[in-house]
Amino acid sequence: MMEDGSIRPLLLGALSGKSTQPTPVWFMRQAGRYLPEYRKLRTQAPSFLDFCYNPDLAVEATLQPMRRYAFDASIIFSDILVLPHALGQEVWFVEGEGPRLTPLADPASLSFDGFDAHLAPVYEALRRLRAELPREKAVLGFVGAPWTLATYMIAGQGGREQWPARTFAAREPQRMKALVDTLVEACTRHLVAQIEAGADAVQIFDSWASSLDERGFREWSIEPIARIVRGVRAQKPGVPIIGFPRGAGFGYEPFCEETEVDGVSLDWTVPMSAAQRLQAKGVCVQGNLDPARLKEGGAQLDDAVTHICEALKGGPFIFNLGHGISLETPPENVTQVIDKVKALTS
């Protein structure tokens, strides 16, 4: 029960270290291109960034899967690259190919002038979303982690195993540190503002953590995220924070210990035994269904959901994917998963 007498979201119970019945469910990229109603809505904005900065469209996109499915949480429709855009870097999206940026020549060229005003539409969308949803449905904000943002900002796009960012970090570690310091501040400010706008919890996506070696993972993923966590908690104590160092492998345990996140999102390669060890340490684990299994559906999908739920439902646990929903996913497969999770964990 919340202070205002409303029902506490299941997701917040799990992130506080409790085992909930049923297990809360939400999916990364649960709003987006796999839904026909989203594809229709997308035509109302000339570009993807225009769509993200339009509160009417962003809220409607976020609500679409909440109307279709019994999700327990909703993550605001936005993009991680609004941060470099707000810092003054040129960002655009090429249809069918993904994001493009003017490669960053000098981290010192970034500026916080107009940063908050630039991101004001995101905060307005969050305020509207929180007002639209019942209190038992959690609202999530998010950012991309400094390393992941830096990979796009340096290369101008994703891919290539983040070679441009890795070589930049090896060649010019002090300039990489300057860039990461700027991004730590930007991420912290953005998360705090999202919480003030109505987010009940936030997630930090380090989507390209897998590209780092052991030393790089500690220096460019763990340490910056730990600083963000401390910065957010200093201003908004008690608001849960989820980390997602995708592809971290054996690095998940030190990541959780050193960042002190409340929850960790696991990619689909993480075995149940490793997830159980994290639960035993009080970390809420989130995940970790392979999106390919979700796309294919059928009996194998039920089997995969059962395997995860039977292993993890005894500890703090949020059912999610190991990454985002793929474009090719039939919408009815999402219903199949949610129904199965609720049947197994109620």
Q: Are strands 263-265 and 241-245 parallel, antiparallel or unpaired?
A: parallel
Residue 19 contacts by C-beta under 8 Å, 6 or more apart in sequence?
313, 314, 315, 316, 317
- The active-site residue, picked from 8, 33, 135, 233, is 33
Q: Is-catalytic flag, 113? A: no
Q: Which position has the token pair 């929850």?
A: 263
CA–CA gap between residue 76 and residue 82 (Å, rounded): 13
In 72-217, at which residue ranges do the beta strands (DSSP E only) sit? Answer: 73-75, 91-94, 98-101, 138-144, 201-206
- What residues are paired with 74 via a beta bridge? 139
| CA–CA separation, 14 and 117 (whole Å) | 34
Q: Where are the beta strands (DSSP E) in 207-305?
A: 241-245, 263-265, 284-289
The answer to whether 79 is a known catalytic residue is yes
Which of these is catalytic: 53, 152, 206, 290? 152
What beta strand segments (E) does 253-302 contain?
263-265, 284-289
Is 42 noted as a catalytic residue in this protein? yes
- Whole-number Å distance between alpha carbons of 82 and 59: 16
Catalytically annotated residue among 79, 200, 262, 267 = 79
Residue with tokens 């985002």: 324
Given the residues 8, 38, 42, 135, the one annotated as active site? 42
Residues designated as active site? 29, 33, 42, 79, 152
